[in-house]
Every structure is written in C-alpha cells, then in structure tokens.
Amino acid sequence: MLLAGDVGGTKTLLGLFRPDRTRPVPAVVREYATPDFESLDEMVQVFIEETDAAGIQATCVGAAGPVSGLVARLTSTPFVADLGAVARRLGGVPATLLNDLEALAWGVGVLHDDELEVLQAGIALPNGNAALLAAGTGLGEAFMHNVNGRFVPSASEGGHGDFAPRNGREIALLEELLRIHGRVDVERLLCGPGLVNIFRFTHGSQDVSRACDEVGVHLDPGDLPAAITASAMAHRCEQCVEALEMFVEAYGSEAGNLALRSLATAGIYIGGGIAPKILPALKDGAFMAAFRDKPPMSDLLRTVPVAVILNSSAALLGAAVRAGMLLKNPS
C-alpha cells in the first residue's frame, strides 16, 4: 500500500492507494481540518487508527509551503509537516515530501479526459513543457518540464511574485493594497482571501460586515469567498460582480504570464478549489482574453492548451503517483 497526503492550510487529505501500472487505485481517503492538529505525524497516527492501515510500503505528501528535505512549514498557517517522523512511524519506509503544486503536477499526467474542462484546445506540442497554477487558500504555481517525452514537475513559489496591474482599475486596486499591506504579491488577489480583498476594493470599504447586504454581516471569514461568488454569479450586487470579474481577469493574466515564463506549449492547467466553483465565470471569455492579451506573444498564447482540473483530489492522486515511484527507486 501507498500512503499519500495533500496538506493544505485549511484541510488535509490522507489516503491509502494500491499501486497500479497506470494510475494508483484509492482504497480509503480521509479529510481532516489542518488547524486541528499540531503535526503531520499526529494526523497520520489518527488516520492509521481510524482505517486500520497496514502494509504501507512508501509514502509521499504534498504540503502547501516551501520544502526542505522532509520538512515543510506551511505558508498560510503555523503547521509544520515533518514526513521524516511519519516515515519512522511506518518503520522507515521510503518517503518524499513535495510542494503541494509539485504533487498536483505529478497527478496531471494520469487524469482522465472527464476530469478536465478545456478552456482552450490549442495545439499541444509533444516536446513542449507544461505548467499549472492553483488558487485556493493561497496561490501555487509549478513547472512541468518535458524530459524525454515525460513531464517532470518542478516546484516554485511563483504565487508570491509581484502583482502586475494591466489597466487603470487594477492600478487603483494595487495602490489600495499597497497602502494597506506595503507589498502586493499575486496571492494577495488570487486566492480565497484575495477575492475578499478585491471585494473590499470594489465596495469601497474595509469593513466587510457593512460593505454589502447581499453577502451578509455574520459570516465566518472562511465563508466569505463563497458568499461573494454566489452574489456575483447571481448578479445580486454590481460590486460583487465587478469583484469576481477582476479576480477572473487577474487569474487569466497570471496564467498567461506563467505560460510565457515556462514556454508551456504543451498546456496550462488550472487547479485548486476555486476554479471548479467559478467555472461559468472562467468560461465566459474574460479569463482567456486576459490570458492571450500579451502582445507580441498573443499568437503564441492562442496555441497553448488550457484546462481546468475538476478532480478535487488530483494533488492526493499525484502524491500517490510519486509514492509508487519510490517502490521502484527508493532514493
């Protein structure tokens, strides 16, 4: 059996998978609230007790933060993932810890067609690179280098690169966020809390409880992005509509930036929890227009395939793919 994990700032997925030549097969998967645990090892202990897990031969976990060896400190919450402690608990099995987007990238190659929503068919070059970005609790980015016809993922912290506004409205947003935060990285806009930041701007108020009657005044902060999205997609509030439109266009623009930086002629993949929930907004044309609006490279970007990952467990699947590789090469 393979133990795979996807550790995020809000939730963690742990799963047992059976090795398979084409795609690991899930046996059992559990979801946990990351802040409820002090460590990954404690969480794995609970998982093993709940599932009676046995016969684990290798483990791989993706974590939402920079990785050093078998340790990662999550970016958005005070949680340390130490996979070394987990490996010792399992009797010293082969183990590798990945950035969460790197884990997701390992899963891309085994996704089925019905687990992807194509935004632009493009013309995929068989020897081209690919890349992915994923907005959720934060914003992650990863490269997928084509090595002898096979994608080899490479982690990055590209979500913390600087936000580059493209028009007067985005410049005004940047100035407002600069005034409040001092520096504005792309993640300041492109994540769940980032949508709330844009919402505050479009409503002209930092007090979310007073900004919009359609969103509500007694919501938990974690529920605000969904409430803003619901208001926008139902066209109940013009300022909410603008907030979602600005989010979608900034998301498309950053996807285009990533395509250029990685020369992703084999495709750009959009992961994370937000994209499937706002799929109609991503498909209305604004996302792809911002993606392609990069003269003199617009013609190149028209050829880049772009797809949204619909499988919410794709990063967990990718971790299982990488764990299976450890059985063949423990190093």
Q: What is the pTM of this model?
A: 0.92
Q: Are residues 199 and 272 in the same domain?
A: yes
Residues 120-139, mean pLDDT to the nearest whole number: 94
What CATH number does the domain containing 48 carry? 3.30.420.40
Residues 158 and 258 in one domain: yes
Q: What is the largest CA-CA distance in the chain?
A: 59
Does residue 163 share a domain with residue 142? yes
Residue 65 predicted with pLDDT over 90? no
Residue 331 has pLDDT above 80, yes or no: no
CB contact at 8 A, 101 and 136: no
Q: Please give the tally of structural domains in the chain.
A: 2
> What is the predicted pLDDT for the residue at 9?
81
Residues 97 and 152 in one domain: no
Residue 306's CATH number: 3.40.367.20
- Contacts of residue 78, defined as CB under 8 A and 6 or more positions apart, other chains included, come to none
Q: Give the domain extent around 6.
A: 2-106+313-328
Clarify whether residues 276 and 238 are in a common domain. yes
Q: Kindly compute the dihedral angle of the four CA atoms of residues 226, 100, 94, 86, in this order, to the nearest 10 degrees.
A: -50
CB of 241 closer than 8 Å to CB of 235: yes
- Both 55 and 168 in one domain: the answer is no
Report the pLDDT value the prediction gives residue 21, as an integer from 0 to 100.
Answer: 86
Same domain, 55 and 137: no
